A and B are shown apart, each in its own frame.
Chain A
Amino acid sequence: MAQIDSEKYAVATQLQLTWWRFRRHKLAMISIVLLLLFYLLAIFADFLATTDPHATDARTSYIAPQGIHLFDDNGFNPHVYGIKGQRDMKTFKLVYTIDPSRKVYIDFFGRGYEYNLFGLLSTDIHLMTLKNAERGDGIYLLGTDLLGRDLWSRLVVATRVSLTIGLVGVTISLFLGVLLGGISAVYGGMVDTVIQRVIEVIRSMPTIPLWLGLAAALPNDWSVLQIYFAITIIISLLAWTDLARVVRGKFLALKEEEFVMAAELAGASQGRIIFRHMLPSFASHIIAAVSLALPAMIISETSLSFLGLGLRPPAISWGILLQDAQNIQTLALAPWLLVSAIPVVVVILAFNFLGDGLRDAADPYG
């Protein structure tokens, strides 16, 4: 193997060293790509949705996943099959099934339901819509649920909700954690003791009943948005304690480092010591802690919603989608509904691998 370029290594910044080390973690690298894809999906959720995720239609109840056919007799011409109603001769019920005889053509960048891109730009352009659609037709990539809503469209929108709840929650707990952990470490003494006791009390509470209690206390008439923020805050109120501990522990450890004393002995101000000499050293640890806190947040939201105590329909989140896949009968009838579990598992695993990779790479001198 080639000799290492020792000069390159010698002048490498902390970020470069971290990156070089991180790069060696195959799983973490794959995870970061996956997560980027998921966040892209979340950003462009409405654009990628093929039908209005809230639109119900009894005719399209429990339609199985349906592939896109790329070619027809005239060459490349992506299309899906239409939906037709048929009377079931035993039950005399009208069942809707796929009708291969009728082709419905896909319109790229066509017009569909109206939405706000990035919350700013009002548009109705979607990646895929249908051209010659009749009532009930649709691109049911992952099938539909009982109420005839397209699962793919619901899943992308749910992904946005669940992933952003994680981000907002982490931001709140990061703020609380850094602030309180920092205060605890800088001031020490009584302040520290009080904050530490509070953290211990919070941590000693069984989380699930506590969440349940808090979530159940939310007024029923709150809007989806209000509930969303309330849930985020409930989740992060409990999660900041971990971050506060990381910050405090790292801060105290760094305070003992001799290079910090060297700065103090050179006459540096308190602020300079903290921001110039200490913060850069634990930024990486905070990032690693955050990447481990994120999946915990996502799981919390998903579990709460799944139990019916978090977000409530008509909001859409992973937990709510999983709620639909709750009972055995439904699953026997529409097993594709279980697909909603896949992104949860993938994202949580990816975050964990990423966190592990970051934690290992974060301290290139350690």
Chain B
Amino acid sequence: MSETILEVRDLKKHFPIRRGLLRRVVGQVKAVDGVSFSIRKGETLALVGESGCGKTTAARCILRAYAPTGGSIKFKVEGREVELAGLKRRELRPLRRHIQMVFQDPYSSLNPRMVVGDIIGEPMLINGMSDAVARRRRVEELMELVQLPRAYYNRFPHAFSGGQRQRIGIARALSLNPSLIVADEPVSALDVSVQAQILNLMLDLQDQLGLTYLFVAHDLSVVKHVSDRVAVMYVGRIVELAETEALFERPLHPYTEALLSAAPTPVPGAVSNRIVLEREIADPANPPPGCSFHPRCRYATDVCRQVLPELQEAEPGRLVACHRAKELSLAGVGAAEHVVA
């Protein structure tokens, strides 16, 4: 097994809720509340869950766009291990080049006032590559890598489609040869047909360049195509973590089961046995006691309503946070009910 490059332990990010003229703190949105996982070099770890469960917040803490409220983020860079959690802005700047991000919104993520070449070259310029000729050569290489015609160097982002913009965003993220790329829902805003192009591109780049991805998504069908392992998040916590194949075939957490069942399948009439999750994700400012999934869980018992289940190893390589994980036998995909009616 290859080495671990990122080790997140008990990561917390609470946003204070302020009210009134004096802006007193009246509560905390516990957007991320004790998340732990690690990422190995060269793999793709997917972080999935409904919107509002804290995926973006967790990703931004790791990127240190946010200062975490608690926990540790150990990152291997150039052979040594750095604790990112407590670093100041100034201390972070030289480290930033090693973790780069691909954004969800292909529109907001590119500066409309800069041409494509400058957008992709900007990180290199910031990090001291001041030779314009060399920079341009590298930008063109990157454009080729993400399959954008070099001739588009001087175009502005408004002239590109969503899919092409996402390629620009990926080229920018690659420009500094980062050891980890955090992609926050990189295909959620795209048409299904364009999603496939971007997913393939990300897979190809990973094979060519040995990239490591933290891939955030809310759609398990997308995750299935890119990830090696999957962490399922619910209200600020990870509820299940497993190898992709195992998780899809035999989920251990009822929430994973429901997410799998909600993913649309391109087979007419396959919905008959869908588990439709009732209501909405719990409010992270005021999560329910016990297992935060219990109000929507069809297997919930009394203990679920009172005791918070810990994330534990259920089987080698599989973690799950559910009191009933051992006794339940949940439906994955490929099971009979998903075959055409």
Contact = CB atoms under 8 A, between A and B. Distances in A.
B201 interface: no
Contact of A280 (B113, B152, B159): B113
Interface of B: 23, 63, 65, 92-94, 96-97, 99-101, 103-105, 108-113, 115, 119, 122-123, 126-127, 152, 154-156, 158-159, 169, 172, 176
A327 interface: no
10 contacts: A9-B159, A11-B115, A14-B113, A258-B103, A259-B109, A261-B101, A265-B63, A266-B96, A266-B97, A266-B172
B135 to A, nearest CB: 13
Enumerate the 4 nearest inter-chain pairs by beta-carbon distance, A residue then B residue, closest first: A10-B159, A266-B123, A258-B109, A267-B96
A259 B155 contact: no
Contact of A12 (B110, B119, B156, B169): B156
B341 to A, nearest CB: 43
B100 A267 contact: no
Interface in A1-50: 6, 9-14, 17
Interface in A204-245: none
Interface size class of A (residues with CB under 8 A): 20 to 34
The secondary structure that dominates the A interface is helix
Given A266-B123, A267-B127, A269-B93, 12 more contacts: A10-B159, A11-B156, A12-B156, A17-B158, A259-B110, A259-B119, A262-B103, A265-B99, A265-B100, A266-B172, A267-B123, A281-B112
A189 to B, nearest CB: 9
Interface of A: 6, 9-14, 17, 193, 257-259, 261-269, 272, 277, 280-281, 364-365
Contacts of B100: 265-266
Contacts of B63: 265
Nearest to B111: A259
A12 B112 CA distance: 11
Contacts of A13: 156
B113 A281 contact: yes
Contacts of B99: 265
A112 to B, nearest CB: 50
A259 B108 contact: yes
A177 B97 CA distance: 36
B97 A267 contact: yes
Nearest to B154: A11
Contacts of B122: 263, 266, 268
A277 B123 CA distance: 12
Contacts of A277: 111
